[in-house]
Amino acid sequence: MLFDIFSEQQMIKPFPANHQRKAFTDAIEQAQLADRLGFDCWWQTEHHGASEFSYSSCPELSLTAVALATERIRVGHAGVLVQHEVNHPVRIAERTSVIDILSQGRMEVGLARAGVGERLNFNITSDSSAGADESMEELEDVVDILTKAWTEERFSFDGKFIHIPDMELVPRPFQSPHPRLWMTTQGTDAVYKAGSMGLGAIGLTLMAPLSLISELRATYDRGLAEGTTRSKVHNPQFGMFTFAHVTETREEAIENGAIAAAMWFIEAFPPTFKIDREMFMSFIRGKPTARADMKNIENILGNADPNDPHPVIRVLNRHALGMEVDWEEAYDIFDAIPTVLMGDVDTVRKKVATIKDHGMDRLLTIHQFGGLSHENALNSIRLLGEEIMPKFV
C-alpha cells in the first residue's frame, strides 16, 4: 500500500497574520517533508470561493510550486473540475502537460464533477436532477479529449458539450503515452464507473465502517472486470482519503483538538459546497446515498437528532446544535472508527494494517484540517512517515 498526502490548503478563523500566503507556504513545507520521508504523491483538490475550507482554487499553480520545490514525490490533481464552464479540456491538457514536463514526469491527473456550489459560482445552468448524469457524460468526453490531445500529432473532437477543431496540443506530456488518469468518487455508482473506464478511483472514508470500504473495493473491481480502459494507460488503483493526526500520546491528540478539527471539517463541508448534510451521515452509517444537493440552505442541520443511535452521528449532531461536548468521550467514540487515523503511533499503526487488509492500494492522508496547526501537521506527517509507513510500503 502506498501513502499519499491530500491537501485542501485549509485555513480557518481566527486567521493568523498573512493567512493567505501562509496557506501556500505551509503546504509547500509539508510537501517537502513528505518528499524526504518517501510519501508517494501530494494531492490537491480544486475548490472555488471556499473561504476557510480551501485555498486550493488554482491547484495547477500550487502543484507546479510543489513540483519545483521537491525531488521525487509525485504531484496529483484530485480533481480537475470537468465541466467546460470551469475548465476547458484543452486547457486541462495544456496545464497538466506543463506540470508533467516541469516535474519530469511526476504528474497524476484526477477528474472530478463540480457540485452545486461550483455550478452556482460558474453559472452552470443544468438542473440538479440532470446535472449528475450530464456531468458524468462530460467527464467521459474529457477522458477521450485528453487521451487524443496528449497522444496524437493533431486531434479534433465533436461531442455533446465540446467542439474542438483540428489542432495540435503544445506542449504534450513528459510521460509516455500520458499521465495516469483518476476519478474522484463518492459512492458505489461512481466507483464502478471509474473501474469500468480503467481509471484509478479516489474516494473518501468520511468515518465510514470497514464494511463499506470492502463493498466499494469489490464494486471497483467489478467495474474493472466488466469495462474497457478508455485512455491509453490502464490504472487499476483504489485509494481513499482519510483524516490523520498521529501523535506521541492519546492525550496529545485530544489536547491538539484533533476531534474538534475533524468535526469542523464535517460540519463546514455541506454549507460551503451546498451539499445535503445527510449524505455525509449516510456514509458514516455505511449506507451511502447518491450525491444530493441541499434542499434548504437555511436549514442545513435538517433533522439532526442529538440522541441519534449512532454514536458518531450523535456527537456530531450535538456539537453542530451547539450542545456541550466532552472531548475525552468524543475521542473514545472516534477512536473506535477504524478509518480515522488519530492518536498515538501504535493505535494508528494497527488501524493502517486493518485498512490495508480491506483492499486499499493508496491511503491519502489529510493532516492539516480544521483548527490543527501547521506544526501539528508537520509532526503528524513525520510520525506517519518515520514510524508507521516503512512497515507497509
pLDDT digits (tens, 9 = 90+) for 78-106: 999 999 999 999 999 999 999 999 999 99
Identify whether the C-beta of residue 294 lies closer than 8 Å to the C-beta of residue 270.
Answer: yes
Question: How many residues are recorded in the chain?
Answer: 393
Q: Which residues contact 176 (CB under 8 A, 6 or more apart)?
A: none
212-266 per-position pLDDT tens digit:
999 999 999 999 999 999 999 999 999 999 999 999 999 999 999 999 999 999 9
Radius of gyration of the chain (CA): 20
- Residues of the chain with pLDDT > 70, as a percent, come to 94
Contact 365, 341 (CB under 8 A): yes
**Whether the predicted pLDDT of 130 surpasses 60:** no
Q: How confident is the model at residue 64 (pLDDT cuts 50, 70, 90)?
A: very high
Q: Is residue 298 scored above 70 in pLDDT? A: no
pLDDT confidence tier of residue 297, bands split at 50, 70 and 90: low
**pLDDT value, residue 315:** 97
Mean pLDDT of 128-142: 77
Task: Identify which has the larger pLDDT, 301 or 362.
Answer: 362
pLDDT at 27 over 50: yes
Give the residue carrying C-alpha cell 504534450: 172
C-alpha pair distances (Å), 337 with each of 37, 243, 285, 301, 347: 27, 11, 11, 23, 11
Best CA proximity match to 360, nearest among 193, 214, 229, 245: 214
Q: Give pLDDT, residue 290.
A: 58
pLDDT number for residue 287: 82
Q: Kindly tell me if the per-residue pLDDT of 129 is higher than 60.
A: no
DSSP H helices in the chain: 19-37, 59-69, 89-102, 116-121, 128-151, 188-196, 210-226, 250-256, 258-273, 277-284, 311-320, 327-335, 345-357, 374-383
Is pLDDT above 80 for 131? no
For residue 303, name the pLDDT band (cuts at 50, 70, 90).
confident
Mean pLDDT confidence for 110-117 = 90
In this prediction, residue 226 carries a pLDDT of 98
The reported pLDDT for the residue numbered 313 is: 95
- 314/139 Cα distance (integer angstroms): 37
What is the pLDDT averaged over residues 160-169? Answer: 96
Q: What are the cell numbers at 35?
A: 518528499
In sequence order, the 6+-apart residues with CB closer than 8 A to the CB of 70 are 31, 32, 35, 42
Segment 108-128 mean pLDDT: 84
Q: Which amino acid belongs to residue 348?
A: V
- How far apart, in whole angstroms, are the C-alpha atoms of residue 192 and residue 194? 5
Nearest to 199 by CA among 292, 114, 79, 44: 79
Percentage of the chain modeled with pLDDT above 90: 84
When comparing pLDDT for 300 and 129, which is higher? Answer: 300
Query: Is a pLDDT exceeding 70 seen at residue 156?
Result: yes
Point out which residues pair with 203 in neighbouring strands.
240
Report the CATH architecture of 2-257+339-391.
Alpha-Beta Barrel (3.20)
Per-residue confidence (pLDDT) for residue 187, from 0 to 100: 86
Write the pLDDT tens digit of every residue in 328-367. Answer: 999 999 999 999 999 999 999 999 999 999 999 999 999 9
Rounded Cα distance between 180 and 76, Å, is: 10
Q: Does the pLDDT of residue 67 top 60, yes or no?
A: yes
Please classify residue 381 by burial: count the beta carbons closer than 10 Å to its beta carbon, then call 0-12 exposed, 13-18 middle and 19+ buried. Answer: buried
In this structure, the dihedral spanned by the alpha carbons of residues 345, 347, 348 and 350, taken in order and rounded to 10 degrees, is 120
Q: Residue 328 contacts by C-beta under 8 Å, 6 or more apart in sequence?
A: 254
Residue of 181 and 279 predicted with greater confidence = 181
- pLDDT of res. 292: 53
